[in-house]
Amino acid sequence: VTRVLVNGREGRAIDPMDRGLQYGDGLFETFAVQDGRARFFDWHVERLVEGGRRLALPIPDARLLRDEVADAWPRGRGVVKLILTRGIGARGYRPPAAAVPTRIVSGHEWPARDSLLWSEGVRAGLCRTRLGRNAALAGIKHLNRLEQVLARAEWDDGAMDEGLMQDDRDRLIGGTMSNVFLLLAGRWLTPVLADCGVAGIMRRAFRGWAAEQGIAVMERDIAVADLAGASAMLLTNSLIGAWPVRELAGGALPLDPLAARFNAWLAAQ
């Protein structure tokens, strides 16, 4: 981390009574930043506003957030993470009547990753850890992430690149840190996220781009058993863009050119 702004001031001290720590009572966003400018900034803010609506958490003005993102990573290519909590509270679950949110904006180096992940594809497998279903929390990027932590702890980097997660009804939902798209019987599909999962910004970008290419990507309930019939798969997130999957649960998958085409478009944004 190079720089952290807490409520707009440089600093590294969070009050232990902050409800973000006490209960995971808050939201976050991870921005890909170039020269102080966040990619798809408006869409990140839209998701944050939706999260704020669900949690009854006031969201700061977008201009303030834009300025702080630029402050946290003004030059070059980097990652800015924004955490927004319900602020300091007394003991007990009840939210304060007038919450004063805590805003934490941190700048991070762009992660160094092998370019072969994009050109040759990645290895994905199914995690044992499942996602609980709760429509009230589905889609938004809240701070309750233990399921992802437990799933991500299941493998070492040497073994695979991303783990896929299912819900308790054996439905594929997404990767631990990514959304998933698969080609099934000639159609591109992505899981419905009504009950769990995060509605990724790059998921939205990929669907929008695909539609412009005349490729309809449908949201569907996808059974894990259907993965065996997939003829291609790709994974998206805000930092990686799209990764084509070359190996799924140990079996080879052909690389579809769609991921590379999307990444080329993305690089030109």
Query: Which residue in 62, 137, 215, 260 binds a copy of itself (CB under 8 A)?
Result: 137
**Beta strand 241-248 pairing with 230-237:** antiparallel
Residue 76: is it exposed, middle or buried by C-beta count within 10 angstroms (0-12/13-18/19+)? exposed
9: contact with a copy of itself by CB under 8 A: no
Question: How far is 145 from 81, CA to CA, in rounded Å?
Answer: 15
55: contact with a copy of itself by CB under 8 A: yes
**Beta strand 3-6 pairing with 9-10:** antiparallel
85: contact with a copy of itself by CB under 8 A: yes
Q: Which stretch binds a copy of itself (CB under 8 A): 38-46, 59-67, 148-156, 259-267?
A: 148-156
Residues from 161 through 200 that contact a copy of itself (CB under 8 A): 168, 176-177, 196
Total of chain residues touching a copy of itself, rule CB under 8 A: 59
Question: How far is 49 from 56, CA to CA, in rounded Å?
Answer: 10
25: contact with a copy of itself by CB under 8 A: yes
Of the pair 86, 246, the CB lying nearest a copy of itself is at 86
The one-letter amino acid at 106:
S
Of the pair 108, 220, the CB lying nearest a copy of itself is at 108
DSSP conformational letter for 163: E
Question: How far is 221 from 224, CA to CA, in rounded Å?
Answer: 10
17: contact with a copy of itself by CB under 8 A: yes
CA 3 to chain CA centroid, nearest Å? 22
Q: Which residues sit at the interface with a copy of itself, rule CB under 8 A?
A: 1, 4, 6, 12-25, 28, 30, 55-56, 79, 81, 83, 85-86, 91-95, 104, 106, 108, 111, 129-134, 136-137, 142-153, 168, 176-177, 196
